[in-house]
Structure 1
Amino acid sequence: MNGVHLVTDRGLCRGRSLEEVVLAAVRGGAASVQLREKDLATRPFVEEAARLKALLAPWKVPLIINDRLDVALAVGAEGVHVGQQDMPCATVRRLLPGAIIGLSVETWEDVVRAQDEPVDYLGVSPVFATPTKTDTRGAWGLEGLARIRAYSRHPLVAIGGVNRETIAAVAQAGAHGAAVVSAICSAEDPEKACGELVRLFRS
């Protein structure tokens, strides 16, 4: 899970279609796309996921579904990202044996428990306070991210307040990847914004 990863938020796309923003991000170098839909019913969620899966296939960019294992199974998504209150990771792994599985960690207890979880990466959430992550227990900060990096056996993907001003520091603190929402979705030019984030993350 190295690189910059787009996490979708249709409400931040400034009137553009989700497909338009996703395609621009991929052209800008996004390493994966995580489809996050908190309020969408199952059928439109599956239909949207199927459209994005087809859009991403020629680019060989994986589609990761946030929370919804059923949607991931329905469209053959490459991965699923779960939170602490979602289906247990061992069950997800049994149902999706070859998938990319991510797990959000919001407390140090989460990090410790995650050592034994069959996941591919930890989503460190949030690194910085952000309006797109309102249901968490406080921000980790760069010191918290570095502490997790020193302890955890899993690759880390940082999320929350990651933008052009913070992304280089996130990489220096030990994140293998950075998940970005508003800095791409709300950008005037999402392709250019993603490309710059990729460059800064690698610098």
Structure 2
Amino acid sequence: MVPQPPSPLSPLAGRRLLLGVSGSIAAYKSAALTRLLVQAGAEVQVILTEAAAAFVTPLTLGTLSKKPVLTGFLRDAASGQWYNHVELGLWADALLVAPASANTLGQLANGLCPNLLSAVYLSARCPVFLAPAMDLDMYAHPAVTQNLQRLRSFGNHVFDSPSGELASGLVGPGRMLEPEQIVAELATFFGSPSGAVRNC
């Protein structure tokens, strides 16, 4: 089947999106999310944390995004070439972190900068969207609740976690919002008057 080109009326058509993928079992959903964003006409640059690479490979996401996946600051250690987090932050129309693990949320909420993804977040001038994903008791922990509140207070868009069966077998909130719903939320944002103008 030949893939159909995105509708020129799609609010995501031509948008430059950074997709940060952090270490959660929900990282497997980032493949479907990347495919849907590209099908909607977005240009997707994936940033994969070291922990996330245990769940989904750069090869998979690079094939789907049609761009090399960034996994660290260094492009070529021998020559000293590196990926400029400031340029990446300025390039994007939006930064989406999905899944956003408890560890990554803690880094972003407290200004910690141990990897390329958190450095890009601190440098980004564009809207930021976060899709939390973790187990039930982690999601309900006061530290995580406080971090989510703090991130919202910074102006970030934090998706609520739907309730359902988790990888641990527990049932409750903590699941990552489904890729189709995330794409719909982004399309709604960019289709609105506030999102129609590039905010970076």
Name the TM-score, length of structure 1 as normaliser: 0.40
Higher relative contact order (CA 8 A, sep 6+): 1
Name the TM-score, length of structure 2 as normaliser: 0.40
